[in-house]
Structure 1
């Protein structure tokens, strides 16, 4: 079940697995996504670094293999030797391709600096070598099958292009897809907007959401689900996402990684940490290459 041969693996779903209980929870998402692929397979990558006894890892890998088998999914395990760092070893193992999807996890707690900040998952997102989905699981009872998704949209010029592959992977099982466009307005200006100004900003948000819903409709997804669009003018986008997630009882927030560079990226990272800390549901940060 365990092997290692760099670059022999084909593009597909790769689970970056460190043996933690959080990684066990994240593996459920990988299994769900693999069930939606034609080849129905996962490549699990575990780099032995001595932090967890080998017998524990063997037991955990066997449990994941059993769960994959019950869903008709093939599991391939790679355990490459550590090369300088776990991050570098993962880059050397997972094929750099727009067809490779790396599923990884955020920390369970932020005691060591942050849920995502300073993690290998953050490094993988920033490397831009393959598609990455970094997940913070706060509702393990969902077993990686959230049925109500909240998709905050930042108004990217490419529309929904970067998010579409991840929607395809998660679509089966979705009941409700909530598309949220938050139009950021300075807190001082927000209080004094005229009705005409408010409507103009709202219209820009509505036009963007119309574009996105048309893109989704053109994809001819095999699963039918309800699409709900929401436009909100707000000064604090993190607070608004948290409010909407609670009101809608969302099971997963799907948020795109920033395209900004330092120092703007550092400011947004702090806001993402705040979202990860206060979230009422699972959160997945994605980046498409």
Structure 2
């Protein structure tokens, strides 16, 4: 049995940065002290604020609590598409209440995941996912908050639903992982693309090409921690403090300085999420 890889060494600081999408609860934050410890590690390398994202109801409750525990933390709440079959009337009511909280800056992550149906027991079927996605789109529009999208093997269907429903003013494709054609369509629609550690993977040629096509004002950076740890730490646990590794990799792909990219993505996060 192979041992888990150790946590990455802290990178050289790069400031300012905002982790546009992480999961503090999945990184081990269960209370205010543990939350502060994770954010302190991030702040030590320049990642001064984080958005912690829900994928089920309990995670949504945690995200809002964490955002009230620490002023450097903001929340995003929704039901993940693979769990869309849990979005009953009472869950909808509670998600709506949590999403309306002033510390919640986005409705997400929602969207479509066409990879897992048939592979994962209990996974919501595509029709259930689409119905839930439409509900989240409406919620984001009613609350006037950005919509944060999870997309796995669903490019055409996501664009179809967004067009049919009418997209909110701000749409964020979290952990953008599609090709140049999809990037162009998103850019043309004014959607924001958030890049994670996958952009540092040398075999992610289509994604790396797509990353060069996005104008600076439509780029965010994220960890999606504890997942998608950037190269050369792939397979190790990820955390918000690792974000500078991804930013430097993305800057190299885009042919710009890491400092300029950090400044641009931070300004974008402040604008998109209305961070204070």
Give the TM-score, by structure 1 length. Answer: 0.26
Q: Which has the higher helix share?
A: 2
Select the structure of larger CA radius of gyration: 1
Give the TM-score, by structure 2 length. Answer: 0.27
Q: Which has the higher strand share?
A: 1
